């Protein structure tokens, strides 16, 4: 399990390695076709900031070569905000006083129909809070079955599960799992996750191994930008990615870098990442891994998303509602976080085409699923 490998990396020592990188280290990394973790650290280091234009050009060239002029579109579907965790930065924190929602199968179907009216989405991300008793594996499996007639490609962002549960869900149409480690800083992790099942650092961290063992088609990774030093956190994630690729090489991978947005509870981020720094991180990951899917959500502003789609980003959400039932059933329920890009899916697609790119609504079909 990756937790054993992570024990061999020192957080503070990694931070110092990154800060010690020089311009020569960055240029050396940019000249390579295959990069090491040491090269990645150079690309996310402060020394790389003056070379952002060279990084952008390299990232653009790699992206065009590997993905062409395409951007994949997806949409999240929140089906419950019921949660037993106490994450200090999240609007779904169990101590926040508001009406909890667990959508019924009929309500989930209404949400699916409403999404289809927004655009020809075929990639959906089903999102829940973490409440294993009220919205556990049975509930998630039933939601997949309800959504299956409407969407060919279904991913989930839910509580970490056992390997046998992930395997079980693949038989109900599951293609991918997204999980944010939030931070790889083991000593600080419980400051942000003081109670609930999410407070178990190793169970969450090793969840990616369980996904790989279950044969999940695609695994999405991420850290929450705003908790700890972002350069060190993403370096740990890059190490984690390489570990997973060595051990579960049949699986596809994606990364996301969500910057903290306002949420109920009033938590203020410890680290603020600028647009230039997010661009640097995006370029670094594309140069580091040519095949990985890099996703931007509606947390980011429209103009920034437009600028980045030709420079490394390969998938985007659009028309997102981060509240359960937000598309049709409960349009005024509590959001997990506020979005920045409020454009309709049609407007996002129009802008992508205007910039010379093709919108891809579908990259998976039921005929490829041997479980159906």
**pLDDT digits over 17-54, tens only?**
999 999 999 999 999 999 999 999 999 999 999 999 99
Considering the four listed CATH numbers 3.20.20.70, 3.90.76.10, 3.10.105.10, 3.40.50.12780, the one that applies to the domain covering 70-275+292-368 is 3.20.20.70
CA distance 177 to 156: 5
The terminus-to-terminus CA distance of the chain in angstroms comes to: 30
Q: What pLDDT was estimated at residue 199? A: 95
pLDDT value at residue 368:
56
Number of neighbouring beta carbons within 10 Å of residue 363: 17
Positions of the chain with pLDDT lower than 50, given as ranges: 372
What's the pLDDT score for residue 257?
94
pTM: 0.94
Query: CA triplet 207, 211, 213: central angle to 5 degrees?
Result: 110
> Residue ranges per domain, the chain?
70-275+292-368
pLDDT at 125: 97
pLDDT number for residue 96:
79
Q: What is the pLDDT of residue 369?
A: 57
The pLDDT, as a whole number, for residue 251 is: 96
The pLDDT of residue 156:
98
268 burial (CB, 10 Å; 0-12 / 13-18 / 19+) is exposed
């Amino acid at each position: 399990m990756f937790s054993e490998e992570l024990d061999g990396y020192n957080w503070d020592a990694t931070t110092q390695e990154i800060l010690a990188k020089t311009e020569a280290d960055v240029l050396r990394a940019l000249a390579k076709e295959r990069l090491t973790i040491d090269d990645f650290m150079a690309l996310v280091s402060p020394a790389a900031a003056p070379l952002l234009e060279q990084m952008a050009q390299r990232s653009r060239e790699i992206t065009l070569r590997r993905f062409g002029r395409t951007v994949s579109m997806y949409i999240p579907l929140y089906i419950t905000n019921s949660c037993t965790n106490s994450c200090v930065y999240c609007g779904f924190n169990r101590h926040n006083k508001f009406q909890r929602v667990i959508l019924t199968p009929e309500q989930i179907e209404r949400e699916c129909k409403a999404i289809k009216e927004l655009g020809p989405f075929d990639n959906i991300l089903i999102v829940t809070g973490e409440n294993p008793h009220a919205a556990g594996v049975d509930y998630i499996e039933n939601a997949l079955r309800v959504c299956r007639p409407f969407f060919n490609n279904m991913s989930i962002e839910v509580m970490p599960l056992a390997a046998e549960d992930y395997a079980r869900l693949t038989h109900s149409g599951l293609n991918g799992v997204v999980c944010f480690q939030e931070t790889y800083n083991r000593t600080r992790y419980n400051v942000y996750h003081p109670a609930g099942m999410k407070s178990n650092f190793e169970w969450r961290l090793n969840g990616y191994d369980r996904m790989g063992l279950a044969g999940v088609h695609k695994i999405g990774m991420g850290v929450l930008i705003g908790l700890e030093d972002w350069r060190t956190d993403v370096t740990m994630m890059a190490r984690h990615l390489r570990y997973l690729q060595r051990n579960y090489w049949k699986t596809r991978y994606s990364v996301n870098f969500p910057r903290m947005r306002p949420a109920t509870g009033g938590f203020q981020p410890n680290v603020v990442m600028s647009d230039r720094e997010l661009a640097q991180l995006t370029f670094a990951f594309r140069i580091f891994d040519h095949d990985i899917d890099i996703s931007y959500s509606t947390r980011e502003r429209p103009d920034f998303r437009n600028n980045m789609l030709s420079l490394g980003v390969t998938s985007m959400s659009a028309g997102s509602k981060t509240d359960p039932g937000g598309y049709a059933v409960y349009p005024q329920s509590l959001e997990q976080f506020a979005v920045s890009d409020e454009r309709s899916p049609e407007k996002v697609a129009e802008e992508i085409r205007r910039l010379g790119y093709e919108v891809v609504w579908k990259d998976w079909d039921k005929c490829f699923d041997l479980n159906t």
